Amino acid sequence: MNVLIIGSGGREHALAWKIKQSPLLGALHAIPGSAAIAGLAQCPPIGQDDFEGIAAYCAEQKIDLVVVGPEVPLSKGIADFLTAKGVKVFGPSQQGAMLEASKQFAKEFMDRNLLPTAAFTALVSPAFAREKVKENKKYPVVIKADGLAAGKGVRICASEAEALEAVSDFMEKRIHGYSGSKVILEEFLTGREASVMALVDGEDFLMLPVSRDHKRLSDHDLGPNTGGMGAIAPLDLPPRDLEIIQNDILRKFVDGIKKENIDFRGVIYVGLMFTPDGPKVLEFNTRFGDPETQALMPVIKTDLLELLAACADGQLKGKTLEVNPGVCVTVVLSAEGYPENPQKGAEITGLGQVPGGVEVFHSGTARSGGKTLTAGGRVLAVTALAPALAQAREKAYAAAGKIQFKGMHYRKDIGL
């Protein structure tokens, strides 16, 4: 099977690393890929938004399966476009991707299909939003921009004044552009969070090991929200929670997309909170998590390519998942100034001293003049699998300690 991965980050590097191990693989390609992914795949100079260019490349290289990493091309309809050209795609249709790209669409889908989630009101104009905020008596309350905002569109508001400020920032000042043209007012939930990902072929689902992201920049969950500073997988969950996740969330999700004729052959990522009333959905993403995927790939023993192709073919029924024993820890090394204003171009040294058995997935690096340079906010994802959490942490942190670049930052408490 000739495979094309769309994307360029650490998630796509980890997917390429795993797919490369498949006995079913012919040639591996990535668009746009990265300097690191180029070590595993051919990376032609085509942009990930150039759907025509991608389709032509698929025809030329006889691509059997396209695996889409990021949400933006999905929300622009890359799966629909390529499918119409006869190319097989792992990744949902544009309508399916709306479950991530519009929180209102996602919340109304959950409501119609009875998935457990926080109570909400969709606010479609600033005047209506202010009226609803003034009616709200319970604080904190959560205000979310409807559209994609790279993880920055959620405010936990402690008072009416803060909620009104969020409404004004999102809807009038448009700090996240069009994504704030609508907002969601949502009940505040409490509890620990987890990332539940499942492969979906339109009829069936296969749940992957559960992982946990660490979203805040600094230790003890302090500092600003980021795309994710580290992850662990798998998480052990009580049977009661697992049952709810499988029956009340994933089963109802798949029944919902079927009933509503949403073409969804890809991965659903459920951002989950274990509230005192049981697990509830905080959000959907319609793609693999980053950095959760980096922690997940070493845990999965089954041939991932076989599963992704089965999803695209609607043939997931009867497929099972085997996992490797142990726990995987991913520590993200971020650039100076991340997340507000990441500095690029610092030389990275020590990569050659990382011991065997530790994978370093590249999220944002470039090669220049024989050097590896920082080229993004999240730079590297240092990943180690070991029989137990403490050993995995020790291995990952020992490897991270070998790597240096100016302004390098990482959390010391991933997995604690």
Percentages (nearest 5) of helix, strand, coil residues in the chain: 30, 30, 40
The option from ligand GLY, ligand AMP, none interacting with 228 (CB < 5 to 8 A, set by class) reads ligand GLY
Cα distance from N-terminal residue to C-terminal residue, the chain: 40
Q: Does 186 bind ligand AMP (CB under 6 A)?
A: yes
Where in 313-372 is the site for ligand AMP (CB under 6 A)?
none
Rounded to whole angstroms, the Cα distance separating 22 from 40 reads 13
Q: Does 139 bind ligand AMP (CB under 6 A)?
A: no
Tell which residue, 158, 153, 163, 162, has the closest CA to residue 185. 163
**Residue 186 CB, nearest approach to ligand AMP (Å):** 5
In this chain, which stretch among 282-290, 317-325, 390-398, 407-415 interacts with ligand GLY, using CB under 6 A?
Answer: 282-290
Rounded to whole angstroms, the Cα distance separating 385 from 173 reads 45
DSSP state of 332: E
Q: Does 290 bind ligand GLY (CB under 6 A)?
A: yes
Q: Does 285 bind ligand GLY (CB under 6 A)?
A: yes
User: CB of 348 within 8 A of CB of 366?
Assistant: no
**Residue 396 CB, nearest approach to ligand AMP (Å):** 23
> Helix 103-112 vs helix 94-101: angle between axes, to the nearest 10 degrees?
100
Q: Does 69 bind ligand GLY (CB under 6 A)?
A: no
Tell which residue, 384, 382, 297, has the closest CA to residue 12. 297
Q: Give the C-alpha distances (Å, rounded to integers) separating 15 from 69, 282, 303, 367.
A: 9, 25, 12, 21
Q: Does 12 bind ligand GLY (CB under 6 A)?
A: no
DSSP codes of every residue in 80-123: HHHHHTT--EES--HHHHHHHH-HHHHHHHHHHTT--B--EEEE
The option from ligand GLY, ligand AMP, none interacting with 282 (CB < 5 to 8 A, set by class) reads ligand AMP
Q: Does 188 bind ligand AMP (CB under 6 A)?
A: yes
Q: Does 146 bind ligand GLY (CB under 6 A)?
A: no
**Residue 146 CB, nearest approach to ligand AMP (Å):** 11
**Residue 46 CB, nearest approach to ligand AMP (Å):** 30
Residues that bind ligand GLY (CB under 6 A): 213, 227-228, 285, 289-290, 292
Residues that bind ligand AMP (CB under 6 A): 118, 142, 144, 154, 156, 186-189, 193, 215, 271, 282-283
